[in-house]
Structure 1
Amino acid sequence: MTVTPRLRARLFAVSMTSALILSTLGGLAYVVSAAISSMAASADEMDDMRALAAAKGALDALRKQLGATVRDNAYWDDAYLSLKGNGAQAWATENWGATTADYPLYDTAIVLDAAGSALMAYHKGITLTDEAVERFFLGKLPKIVAAARDVEYAADDLPVAFAKTSEGMALVGAAAIQPADDAEFDMKNANVLLFSKQMSANVVAEIARTFSIAGLAVEVGLGNPAMLHADVLDIDGHEIGRVTWPPMHPGTASYIRARPTIILAAIVLVSVLLAVVICGLLIFRGLRKSEQVSRYKARHDALTGLWNRAGCLEQLDEMLRPETGGSNANLYILDLDGFKPVNDAWGHPVGDKLINAVAVRLLEGLPVSAIVARLGGDEFAVLSATDNIGSNFTVHETILRALSIPFKIEGRTIEIGGSIGWARAGNGALDSTELLRRADLALYRAKSVGRGVAVEYEPGLDEEAIWHAELEQELRLGLLAGEIHVVFQPLIEASTREIGGVEALARWTSPTRGPISPETFIGVAEKAGLIDQLGLQVLRMAIQESAQWPSIGVAVNISPLQLKNPYLCRQIKEVLEEYRFHPARLTIEVTEGVFISNPDQAKRAFDGLRKLGVKIALDDFGCGYASIGTLREFGFDSMKIDRSLVFNLDKEGNGGAVLHATIALANALNLPVTAEGIETEAQATAVRLSGCDRLQGYLFSKPVDATEITRRYFKEHQQLVC
C-alpha cells in the first residue's frame, strides 16, 4: 500500500507517542526510585532532627526544672530569716539536707555563707565537709556561686548549668537566699543555696523514656562519632560532654521492608514497557489497514456517501487553485423546501430515504464533472466549473427540475422543492471560505423571496447584509434607549359602532433612519434574538396605557418565537400584577406561524396563558393553511380574518362567498370574529351582515397614541382624571 503523507504523519505520530510513553515510563521509574531513596533519606534525617530536638528539649527541661526548684527554695522569707538565727544549720539540714537521700529533683544540697564556707552540705543524705565539697565539684563551684551573687545575672535568670563532679556529670543550680522585701539585704554577702542532680543511669533512662530517645547516654568528651549527640555545656558555655544516642534510620528500615514490593513493581513496569512496544507495532499495522477507510469517512457523508462539508471544502480548495483554472469554479448551495414536514409526518427513517433519493437524483441529473456534497441536514452543495451544462439548461435549473419530479418513498408520493444560492469564483480572487459565504448570502435571499428559486450572489447582497447588521445594532441601542413606542387602533363593535377594545402596535423611529416599518424591525428582532426584549417592552407599555380605560380590553401581538421562551407566562403575569390589570382584558394575538414553528411548545405556552386568564386570538386567518382541526386543537378564544379577504370584496368574483364561508366557519366553532382592513362603509356593512363581531380599519381610525384614544372615546374618564 502506498504510504500517503497523512499516513506517514500518523505513523510518525505513533512512533513518537510510543517513544514518548517509553521514555516517560522509564523516567517515571527513575523518578520513583529516586523519590523512594530520597524519602528514605529524608525520613532518616527527619528522625535524627526530631531526636536532636527532643534531646535538647530534655536538657532544657532539666535545667528549667532545677532552676524552678532552686528559685522556690531560695526566694523564701522563712529560709532567709531562719538562716540569720542560731539554728541556721539545723534548719537547713532539716529542710534541704535530709531530703537529698531520696528526693527526685536533687541529690546534693549546699548552703554557702559569704566567706564561701559550707553552712550545710549534704549529698544523697550524707554530710560533706568543705574539703569534700571542693573535691566533689572538682574546684568548679566558685564560678556558680559567684554567678548566683551576681545581681544582673540573678535578676535575669538563675545560674543553672552542667558540671563535672567526682561521680560524673551533674546539673547544678544556685541562687542567693533572699527575702521578698528587706532594705538591708546585700546580694554580694548573701547565703547561697545550691542544688545538684547527678546524671545517673536511672535519670538518663527516664529522660529516654519520656522523650522517646532509644539508647540515650551521657558521655564525657567527644564520644563515638557515629552516634547522634547534643552538647552538654558548663556555666561558661563550654562543652564538657555529650548526650548521645544511636540513629534509628526509620526510612532505611522501611525501604528494606518494601524492597520486595519495589522489585515486583519494577517487573510490572518492564512488562508495561514491553506491552507498549507490542501495542505500538499493532497500531502501526492497524493504521496501515484503516487509512483508506478513515480517509473516506472523514470526507464523506455517512448517509448518502456524498462528500461531506470537510470533503466539499477540500474539493473546492482544489478547484480554486490557479493551476486548475479556479476562476471558473461555481458553488451552489441547495436547501430543500418542505423537508421538515416529511420528517414530522412520517418520521426520520422516511426522511433519511428521501435525502438518499435526492442525492441519487442529483448525481444522475448533473454531469460527471460536477461534485455533489451533503453539508448537513437537508442542505446540499454542488461544485461545477461552469454554470452551463448543455441542453440549454444551467446547473441551477437542472437541480430545480430534478426536484420538481415527485419522489416515491415506501409507497408514498412526496413532493418537495428547493432553494438555491450560488456564487462564481471570479478570476481566482476568492478562497473557499469567501465563496461559501457568498453562496450562503444568495441562499438566504432565495429562501426569503419564495420556494423553488435560484439566486446568484451579487454585491448588493453584501450591502443588504451590512444594512441589516447596522439596523440590528441600532435596534439594540433603541431598545435600551426606550425608542420603541406603542400606538393603538380601535376595535369597533359591529352592532353598536362603539369601541370594544384596542390593538397595541409597536412603532420605532430611528434617530438616523427615521420611521422603520414594523415588518422590518420585528423581522430584524426575530433574527437577532431581540424579540423577547422587544415583545416584553411593547406588552408593558400597552398594559400601562390601557389601564386607564377600564371598560375595554387590549390585544397584543406575540411572535411565534416568543412562545419558545419558557419564562413568557411568568413575565406576562408579573406585568399584569405590576399594573393591576385584569388578565381577562388582555388578548394575545398569534399568527399561523405557531403551527409550524413548534406546535407542542405553542400548546404548552397557551396552557400557561389560559391558567393566567389571558385570552388567545388567531391573527390573519385565511392567508395561510390553518384548518378546522387546527382551530379545534389549539382552542382559540377568537380569530381575526385577514385583510386580503376584506379587500377582495371590492373585486369581481367569489370574494364575498369566501369571506362569508370563513366567518361562518368561525361562528360554527363559536369563535368571535374580527375583520381588519375595513376602509369603506360598504366593507363594514358586508362583514357585519356576514356575522362579523368586531371591525378594525382606517374607516374608524388609523393607529394613534393613547392620548388620542382617550380624547376620542373616553372624554368623561379624562375629565374625571383631571
Structure 2
Amino acid sequence: MAGLVTVFVLAGLRQDDKARVRERTALLASLRAREAVMAQALVTTNDEQDTLKHLVSGDFTPLHRSFGLKLHDGFGFEFVYITDARGNVIYSSERGQQNQLHAFSWIRPAIQRALAEGQKAALSGVVASQDAAGLMVARPFDEKVEGLDVAQPLVAITVDVIDPDFLRMVGGPASLDDVELIQHPHGGERKPGVFVPNLYDGSEAELVWRSTQPGSRMLWGLMPAAVVLTSLLAVLFLVLMVRARRMAAALIASEAKARALAARDYLTGLLNRGAFIEALDAAIAGRRNGETLALLFVDLDDFKEINDRAGHAAGDDLLRAVARRLEEALGEGTLVARFGGDEFVAALRCREDGDLDRVVERLFRMLEPPVLLEQGGELGVSASVGAARVPQDAATGADLMRLADVALYKAKADGAGLFRLFEPGFEQAQIRRRHVEAELAAALDKGEIKLVYQPQVDVESERIVGFEVLARWDHPIRGRILPGEFMPVAESSRLMGRFDTYVLRLALVEARALPGVTLSVNMSALNLRNGAIFQTVAEALAETGFDPARLEIEITESAILDAAGDTQAALEKLRDMGVRLALDDFGTGHASLVHVRRFPITKLKIDKSFILNLGTDRDASAIVEYVVRLGRSLGITLTAEGVETREQLRFLRAFGAQQAQGYLFAPPLPLVAAAAMLERQQAAAHGVAAPDAAGGAGVPEASAVSRQPS
C-alpha cells in the first residue's frame, strides 16, 4: 500500500509540475500579447510627420488630442511620453492630463536604461518600483527633424499600470487566479511564479498566481478511498497473520512430505533420477573398507512392443508390478529407482562375493510369473540386467552408472533376459562400435559401400525376374566387410537414414545395366517409422529417372508392427506411384496376414529358416504350404529365400510359390556378373549364345553360374 501511495503521490506531483509549466508558458504569452497590443497602438496613433510638426511649432494641444488622449481613452494606457534620445521629456500625458510628470520619477530609470542599451535590450518590459508598477513599451521615431535642439531620435513611450484589473486581464487567457507582481521575490513557501526582467533597476520581478494543481486535487480526492483500503488491508493482514501462525505447524510437517514426493517417481513410487544419484553419491562416500557397492541397470525386454500391443494402461500396470517385485527381490535398505520409461536402477551393498549373484538370481525368479493387469488379462515380462561395482570397476557414481549401462548394453546385445557384470572388454567393444560408426560415415562419403545383386527367379521356368540389392563395405584396410558386422551399428546410430538413401540412389543408377527386371532394395524400419520413406524414394526416382514400376522396396515385419497411420499413408502413396512393396523375412516376427492386408503389400518373402527344413521337418513344410496358399488367395506374390537344393525347389513348385532366391541359382553377384547373367538369359531366349564375362560363349542355364559367395 505504501508503494501504491508513493506511486500516486509522485504521479500527482508530476502532474502539478506539468500544470505549472503550462501556466507559466500561458502567462508569459498573455504578457507578450499585451505588449504587442501596446506596440501596435503606438504605431496606429502616432503619425510621425504630424507629431514632429506639432513639436517644432510648439503646438501641443492638437498633439495631445491626436496622440495622448487616444492612447488613454481608446486603449486605457495611463501614461504617454515623448522624450529625446537621452530620456528628457518633450511631451507628457498622465491619466489623460497634459504636461503631468507625477509618475515619471519611477519610469525615468527604465527609459534611460532602455535608451542607453539601445538595440541590446528590448524597449519594452515590466517597470516596478516601490511607488508603482507598469508595462512599458517604447518606440523610437524613424525620422529626424530640423529645428529641435534635442538629442534624436525621439522616442514615443506608453505605460499601462499593473494593477488588479491589469493582472486579471493578463491571467484571464491562462485561466489563472490571484495573479500578483512581486518586485523583490524572496525564498520560502510561495505560490508558483515566473520571473521577468525589471527595467527599473535591472533586477528581476516575479509574477505569481494560485496554481490549479490538478495532481494534488486528484490525490486529495483519492485519499479517503486510500485510507479505507489501507484499513481493510491492515485488518486482512492481521487475520492472515493469525491464520499463518496456526498453519505454521502444518507447513513444517508437510515440507518433509513434499521433499519425499519430489524425490519419487510419480508412477511407481520409486526414487527418481535426481534423488537416486544424490543417494548413490552419499552411499559411495559412506562405504566401509572392504565393502562392495553394486549398481544394477534393469531394462525390460520388448517393452515398447508390449506397450503398443496392450496399450499404455497395461504398460503402466506392468511398470508398477515390476517396481514392487524389484523392491521385494532386492530387500530393505536397497536403493531402487526408475529413471524413465522401462529403465530401473538399484544400488545394493555386497558383503560377500556371492551376494550379487544371489540377488540377481532372486530378481530373475521374481520376474518370471506373468503380471495380472487391472483391466483383465496378464502379461509376461523379462528383463536384461547390467551391473558394475565400487571399488572393483569405478570410484565415482558417474563412472559407476556409465559402466553399468555398458554392461546392460552388452546383456541386451547378447539376447533377452540375460545378466552381465561389467568387464573391461565391454567398454572396448563400445569404443570399437563408435569407431566403426565413424568409419562407416566416412565410407559413405568416400563411396566405399559397394552393391551386389542376387537374382530372384521364377519357380516354374527358373528365369530371372528380378535382383535383390545387397550392400558390402570394401574397407581400405580390413577388406570386404559383410552387413552382419556394420548394419547393427548403422541401425543403432543416426546413419541409417543416410545409408538407405545412399544404397537406393546407387542401386537405381547401376540398375540401368539390368533392364527388364525388378530391383528390390531394403529400407530400414527407421525410415518407415519416421515417415521419411516416401520422400526418400520419390526424390531418388526423380533424380535418377528410374521407372517406379521396376522398383520394389523391402521392409521387415517389425517395421509393419510398429507402423502408425502416417506410415500407411506413405506406403499407399508409393503404391500409387507404381512402386512395389515386399515384406521381408516373413514368419520370423509376429506379423500375420491380417496385418499384411492393412498395408499395400505386393510380395511376401518367406524366411530362409523355413525353407532350410523343407522335406525334413513336417511343421516347416506345413507352414510354408499354408502361407503360400493363403498368400496366393489374397493375390500376393510369394518369394522363398535361401533356396539351396533342387529338393527345396520341388516342394516350392508343388506348393505353388511363384519366386525363389538362393545359392541354388546364384550368390550375390557384382554388377558386371549380374548383367552378364541376365544377358545370357536374354540371348538364350532368342536362341543366341552370348559371350560370358571371360569373353567365351555362355550357357543358357542360370544354374551354370558359379555359386561361391561373393
Q: Indicate the TM-score class for this superposition, using the shorter chain for normalisation.
A: 0.7 to 0.9
Q: State the 1:406 CA deviation.
A: 4.4
Determine if contact 2:19/2:213 at 8 Å carries over to the other structure.
yes
Read off the aligned partner of 1:277 and give its amino acid letter. Answer: M
2:170 is the counterpart of 1:207: yes
Read off the aligned partner of 1:238 and give its amino acid letter. Answer: G
Q: CA RMSD in A?
A: 5.1
1:529-540 mapped onto 2 (5 Å cutoff): 529-540=494-505
Write the deviation string for residues 609-634 of structure 1: whole angstroms up to 9, x where unpaired.
44555432212223333222222233
2:371 is the counterpart of 1:400: no
**SS class of match (2:194):** strand
| Distance of 1:463 and 1:610 partners within structure 2 | 45
1:321-332 mapped onto 2 (5 Å cutoff): 321=285, 323-324=287-288, 327-332=291-296
Write the deviation string for residues 523-577 of structure 1: whole angstroms up to 9, x where unpaired.
4344334434444454455556668988555444322222332565455545545
Please point out which of 181, 194, 197 is paired with 1:218: 181
Write the deviation string for residues 179-198 of structure 1: whole angstroms up to 9, x where unpaired.
9xxxxxxxx95555556544
Read off the aligned partner of 2:632 and give its amino acid letter. Answer: N
| Distance of 1:142 and 1:675 partners within structure 2 | 128
1:539-688 mapped onto 2 (5 Å cutoff): 539-543=504-508, 554-566=519-531, 568-570=533-535, 572-577=537-542, 583-610=548-575, 612-648=577-613, 659-677=624-642
| Distance of 1:709 and 1:111 partners within structure 2 | 128
Determine if contact 2:87/2:108 at 8 Å carries over to the other structure.
no
Query: Which residue number in structure 1 is paired with residue 108 of structure 2?
Result: 138
Determine if contact 1:563/1:601 at 8 Å carries over to the other structure.
no
Q: State the 1:465 CA deviation.
A: 2.5
Read off the aligned partner of 1:286 and give its amino acid letter. Answer: A
> Any stretches of 5+ residues in structure 2 without a counterpart?
145-150, 683-710
Read off the aligned partner of 1:172 and give its amino acid letter. Answer: V
> Any stretches of 5+ residues in structure 1 without a counterpart?
1-28, 180-187, 717-722
Q: State the 1:311 CA deviation.
A: 6.4
| Distance of 2:143 and 2:491 partners within structure 1 | 100
Residues 565 and 484 from structure 1, CA distance in 2 versus in 1: closer, same or farther, beyond 3 angstroms?
farther
| Distance of 2:50 and 2:454 partners within structure 1 | 120
Residues 638 and 227 from structure 1, CA distance in 2 versus in 1: closer, same or farther, beyond 3 angstroms?
same
**SS class of match (1:634):** coil
| Distance of 2:143 and 2:348 partners within structure 1 | 117
Write the deviation string for residues 307-344 of structure 1: whole angstroms up to 9, x where unpaired.
66566556655653555457322233333335555544
Write the deviation string for residues 580-602 of structure 1: whole angstroms up to 9, x where unpaired.
55554443321111244345553
Write the deviation string for residues 615-660 of structure 1: whole angstroms up to 9, x where unpaired.
3221222333322222223341222333444555698887666555
| Distance of 1:527 and 1:95 partners within structure 2 | 114
Determine if contact 2:337/2:344 at 8 Å carries over to the other structure.
yes
**SS class of match (2:553):** strand
Determine if contact 2:575/2:600 at 8 Å carries over to the other structure.
no
Moved more, 38-47 or 464-473: 38-47
Query: Which residue number in structure 1 is paired with residue 691 of structure 2?
Result: none
Write the deviation string for residues 48-84 of structure 1: whole angstroms up to 9, x where unpaired.
45544544454456557766x499879xxx9788888
Please point out which of 207, 212, 220 is paired with 1:243: 207
Moved more, 98-107 or 561-570: 98-107
Determine if contact 1:66/1:173 at 8 Å carries over to the other structure.
no
Please point out which of 71, 74, 87 is paired with 1:100: 71
Write the deviation string for residues 110-131 of structure 1: whole angstroms up to 9, x where unpaired.
666779788987778x585596
| Distance of 2:84 and 2:356 partners within structure 1 | 139
Determine if contact 1:218/1:244 at 8 Å carries over to the other structure.
yes
1:426-575 mapped onto 2 (5 Å cutoff): 426=391, 430-473=395-438, 481=445, 483=447, 487=451, 489=453, 491-494=455-458, 500-505=465-470, 517-519=482-484, 521-543=486-508, 554-566=519-531, 568-570=533-535, 572-575=537-540
Query: Which residue number in structure 1 is paired with residue 696 of structure 2?
Result: none
Q: State the 1:671 CA deviation.
A: 1.3
Determine if contact 1:163/1:171 at 8 Å carries over to the other structure.
yes
Write the deviation string for residues 658-694 of structure 1: whole angstroms up to 9, x where unpaired.
5555444432321123444567788778756754545
| Distance of 1:386 and 1:680 partners within structure 2 | 57
Query: Which residue number in structure 1 is paired with residue 147 of structure 2?
Result: none
Determine if contact 2:110/2:199 at 8 Å carries over to the other structure.
no
Determine if contact 2:531/2:567 at 8 Å carries over to the other structure.
no
| Distance of 2:493 and 2:660 partners within structure 1 | 34
**SS class of match (1:593):** helix
| Distance of 2:475 and 2:418 partners within structure 1 | 33
Moved more, 87-96 or 530-539: 87-96
Residues 281 and 372 from structure 1, CA distance in 2 versus in 1: closer, same or farther, beyond 3 angstroms?
same
Moved more, 380-389 or 323-332: 380-389
Q: State the 1:462 CA deviation.
A: 1.7
Read off the aligned partner of 1:258 and give its amino acid letter. Answer: L
Determine if contact 2:449/2:471 at 8 Å carries over to the other structure.
yes
Percent identity for Structure 1 against Structure 2: 26
Residues 123 and 672 from structure 1, CA distance in 2 versus in 1: closer, same or farther, beyond 3 angstroms?
farther
Determine if contact 1:326/1:428 at 8 Å carries over to the other structure.
no
| Distance of 1:619 and 1:567 partners within structure 2 | 19
Read off the aligned partner of 1:416 and give its amino acid letter. Answer: V
**SS class of match (1:630):** helix
